[in-house]
Structure formats: C-alpha cells, structure tokens
Amino acid sequence: MRTGEQVVQSLPWRWNVQGKIFIIGGLGYMFDAWDVALNGFLTPLLGLEFGLSTGQRGLVATANLVGMAVGAVLWGTIADRMGRKRAFSITIAIFALFSVLGALSPNWEIFLLLRFLAGVGLGGCIPVDYAIVSEFSPAKLRGKILAAMDGWWPIGATMAGVSATLLVPFAGNWRWMLALMVLPALLLVWIRRGVPESPLYLARTGREEEARAVIDDMVRRTGATPEPYVITAAAPGATTSDKRWLAAGVEQLRMVWSFSPQITGVAWSLFISVMVVYYAALSWMPSILRSQGMDDVAAFASTTIMNAVGILGVITSVLLVELVGRKWVIGVAGPLAGLALVVFALVMDSPTAAIATIAVFGFFALVVIPVMYAYVSELYPTELRASGFGWASSSSRAVTGFVPLIFGTLLWPVLGLPLTFTVMALLVVAAVVFMAFCAPETRGRELDRITGTEEKLDTPA
C-alpha cells in the first residue's frame, strides 16, 4: 500500500489544483525579485537626495539583503514548526507593511531600518514558497515546476526596471517606486488565504485527519482514481512547539548539518557563490553604467534588458532540467554567467558590447538560479525542506548582504571590475566542482528518498 505522500506526488497536474498553488507562490517570489532589483535603482537616486557617499549608497542594498538573510532563517524554521500555510501569508504581509512605511521615510537612517524590516518579511518567501510548491508537485514534473517558479523572478525584476525607468523623470520618484510595488502585494495577502496546508507537512507532524482531508480533496479535484493509502508516522520531535524560536532555529541548523554535512556544504557553497555574482551585478549595474556616461534613463533601461532576457533563461532551464539533470545545468550555466560579467568588464567602454554582454549574463544567471533552487529544495527531507533551503538561502543573503557595501568601497575601486568579476567567477567554478563530487543527482527521484550514502557520488544522468 502506498503512502499519502506517494499519492500526492503521483497525481496528474491540474492548473486549478497544483497550478493555483504554483501561481500564488510564484507571485510572492515575483515581489522578492521586484524588491531586490529595486535596490539597484534606488541606490543612485537616494544618493542624490540625501547626499550619500559611495559606501553609504552600498548600505541601501545591504540593509535589505541582510534583513532577507534573517527572514530566510526565521521563516524557514517557522514553516517547519508552525506550518507552510500560516508562514505563507504572514511573510508577504510584513513585507508590504514596512515597504509602505519605507516610502514615507523622512531620512536615510529610518529608510535603512525599514528596508531591513521589509527584508525580514520578504526573506521568508523563497524558502516557504518553494517548500509548499515542491510538496504539492507531481514527482515526474517537480523539476520543471520548481525551475519554472524562477520565471517569476525576471518578471518581477523587469517590472522593477520598467517602473523605475518610467518614474525617473519625476521628483521624489523613488518613493513612488516603493509604493507602486506594495499595492499588488497587499492583494496577494488576501489571495493566499485560500491555499491549503501541505499534506506532507501535516503527515510529518502527526495531523493525520487533516492530511487525509487535503489528499482526498486533491485526488477528487485532479480526477485521479481513489485508492487506500497510509499516512507516514510523525517524525520524532516534529510536533514540538514549546521551544523559543531562537532555540528552534539553532536546533534546526544543527539538524540540517547533521543530516548530511556534504549536502549542506554543497547547498551553501552554490547559493553563496552564484548569488554573490548575481546580487553584485543587480545592485550596482545602474551605477556602473552611469559611471560610463549613461544618464539615468539609459542606465535603468539597459539594466532592465538584463532582467528581461532572464525570462528566456528560465524557459531554457525548464526545458533542460529534466532532460539533462540538475547538476549538468548548474555546472555549465553557472561558470558561463560569471564569464559573461568578466567579458562585460573588459568591453564596457563600448555601450553596444556592454549591453550585449550583460544581456548574456542575465540569460545564464536565470538558467542556473532556477535549477539551483529546485535542486537544493529536493535534497532535504520534508521535515527539513523549508529550513534546509532557508538556511542555504540565508547563508547567501548574509554574505551577499554585505557585497553591495564591499563592492562599492573596496572591490570596484581597488581591484577594478575585470579582476573583481574574475574572482567571483572562480568561486562559482569551485562550488560546481564541489557539487559534482559530493551531491547526488535528484532528477526523477521521489522526495524523501533522494539522498543516501551510496548515492553521494552520483554523476549527472
């Protein structure tokens, strides 16, 4: 007799069932992209309004990204302890509230604090959204679905660029950029109330009756043939709820590393190296282009092209993820994204060549990131999926949070762009080599039955 988890993961895909969860989860991810991309456009505008130095401008993105690092850990842990559904709604509500207040900031210091707090809410979206979407997805389509989730990223980043480009001629436009992003986010808070709790989470935490209700409803709505099934016994300690969140977070971190040091090491190294490259470009590209003589509109529009081309990258990742496997896509596209930035730094004196190479970077970056997110979310068992992904995401946010500051005050002025981007690209190469030898391929495998001692040295299929 099959388990309830196996039944869920073998159901046919229906847009009015799993597709609804994919869209609602993806919209939250879109706002994550919109918010992060907006940092690059806010940086030069805030610098002009408040008379900021280069280092102070770097803090604009740093405050937001560090808040996201805190949020990724906090909400990944809460989602594994409290449930996906409640965390699913609260994260976006916190982001919307502090973004509205940020648009009303009277000075730079208060703006930084509010951007940090908005980041705490938004940082929880990625681990929570990926956990709930993966747990509702059919196993045979899970790679494509999770890779397609990242299609929301270039959409959000492009919307940030389009709104910034259109609003830049108006006085006080950075405030309107924030306000414009918040309006649809508030609508999403209400929509998320209709998402059911993950049946895998309910089963793992001993809530068998609720798990059966969700599974039976999904079987009925997808038109699958009903069959008897068993609910997997609750994991020891899974229902513990009386620990303080800090202690629970530390315990979850210990469990993530004790589950498999190699798997967690691979997850963290991939996230850190790939996202350092991506966020450095995203946070500083408008300023880099302005330093080459472009005005605000041209610099913002060129950066928007980089983000828009990423949509093609996501489509490519969806087509390749099940065809060649997660590890091959990450191993090829990651280094190529880093190489594209190195070439950009060498040819940026030519506007046409510079725009072409940042478009190439935008393409390969959005090939590797969706597959990386899908891959890491699959490596952990259900009871650790949100927190395992959350800690990996948080490790990258913690490092990349300081990249805008370090990039603007040390790397760019001292090393120059070509050498800076070369060092970042080499970090990506080191991470994918580590992955090749120390983590399994997850293509086509059932969740919770992916990692095993005998599989650790699998090569890509």
Task: Check residue 331 and give its pLDDT.
Answer: 94
Task: Check residue 46 and give its pLDDT.
Answer: 86
Q: Angle at the Cα of 347 (from 342 to 348), degrees rounded to 5?
A: 95
Neighbours of 53 (CB within 10 A): 11
Q: Report how far Cα 109 is from the mean position of its chain's Cα atoms.
A: 27
Which structure tokens are listed for 417?
A: 């762009």
Residue 154 has pLDDT above 60, yes or no: yes
Q: Please indicate whether residue 410 or residue 165 has the higher confidence score (pLDDT).
A: 165
Selection from 79, 64, 161 nearest residue 125 by Cα: 79
Task: Check residue 66 and give its pLDDT.
Answer: 84
Long-range CB pairs of 102-105 (<8 Å, 24+ gap) are 102/178, 103/175, 103/176, 103/178, 103/179, 103/182, 104/175
Task: Check residue 288 and give its pLDDT.
Answer: 84
Residue 85 has pLDDT above 80, yes or no: no
* 325, containing H or E segment: none
Selection from 148, 168, 170, 172 nearest residue 160 by Cα: 168
Q: Report how far Cα 243 is from the mean position of its chain's Cα atoms.
A: 28
Residue 356 has pLDDT above 60, yes or no: yes
Sketch the domain layout of the chain as residue ranges: 4-455
Q: What burial class does residue 5 get, using C-beta atoms within 10 Å of its C-beta: 0-12 exposed, 13-18 middle, 19+ buried?
A: buried
Q: Please indicate whether residue 65 or residue 265 has the higher confidence score (pLDDT).
A: 265
Selection from 44, 291, 21 nearest residue 129 by Cα: 21
User: Any idea which residue has 């590393």 for tokens?
Assistant: 257
Q: Report how far Cα 27 is from the mean position of its chain's Cα atoms.
A: 12
> Contact, 439 vs 85, CB < 8 A?
no
Q: Please indicate whether residue 98 or residue 153 has the higher confidence score (pLDDT).
A: 98
Average pLDDT estimate for 154-159: 87
> Contact, 330 vs 372, CB < 8 A?
yes
**From CA 315, how far away is CA 309, in angstroms rounded?**
10
Model confidence at 216, pLDDT cuts 50, 70, 90, reads very high
Model confidence at 88, pLDDT cuts 50, 70, 90, reads low
Q: Please, what's the largest Cα pairwise distance for the chain?
A: 68
Query: Buried (b) or exposed (e) across 427-449, using 16+ Cβ within 10 A?
Result: bbeebbebbbebbbbbbebebbe
User: Any idea which residue has 């799993």 for tokens?
Assistant: 18
Selection from 284, 93, 56, 75 nearest residue 188 by Cα: 93
**From CA 114, how far away is CA 97, in angstroms rounded?**
9
Task: Check residue 370 and give its pLDDT.
Answer: 84
Spatial CB neighbours of 108, under 8 Å, sequence gap ≥ 6:
46, 50, 52, 56
Total number of residues shown for the chain: 461
Which structure tokens are listed for 171?
A: 């006085």
Spatial CB neighbours of 115, under 8 Å, sequence gap ≥ 6:
60, 63, 64, 67, 98, 102
H-state helical runs in 82-172: 84-103, 108-122, 125-136, 142-149, 152-167
pLDDT in tens, 297-345: 888 888 888 889 988 998 998 888 888 888 999 999 999 999 999 999 9
**From CA 201, how far away is CA 313, in angstroms rounded?**
32
- Is domain 4-455 annotated with CATH 3.30.420.40? no
**How far are the Cα atoms of 9, 111, 134 from residue 138, in angstroms, in the given order?**
4, 43, 8
Spatial CB neighbours of 357, under 8 Å, sequence gap ≥ 6:
340, 341, 343, 344, 347
pLDDT in tens, 359-383: 999 999 999 998 898 888 788 887 7
> Contact, 421 vs 343, CB < 8 A?
no
Which structure tokens are listed for 28?
A: 């939250």
Residue type, 326: R
Least confident of 132-136, 251-255, 291-295, 405-409: 405-409
Selection from 24, 77, 31 nearest residue 195 by Cα: 24
Q: What burial class does residue 261 get, using C-beta atoms within 10 Å of its C-beta: 0-12 exposed, 13-18 middle, 19+ buried?
A: exposed
4-13, 78-87, 431-440: range with highest mean pLDDT: 431-440
Task: Check residue 454 and give its pLDDT.
Answer: 35
Model confidence at 446, pLDDT cuts 50, 70, 90, reads low
H-state helical runs in 2-53: 4-10, 18-50
Task: Check residue 448 and give its pLDDT.
Answer: 57
User: Any idea which residue has 């609003």 for tokens?
Assistant: 167
SS3 3: strand
The radius of gyration of the chain's CA atoms, rounded to the nearest angstrom, is: 21
Residue type, 292: Q
Q: What is the mean pLDDT of the chain?
A: 81
**From CA 273, how far away is CA 281, in angstroms rounded?**
13
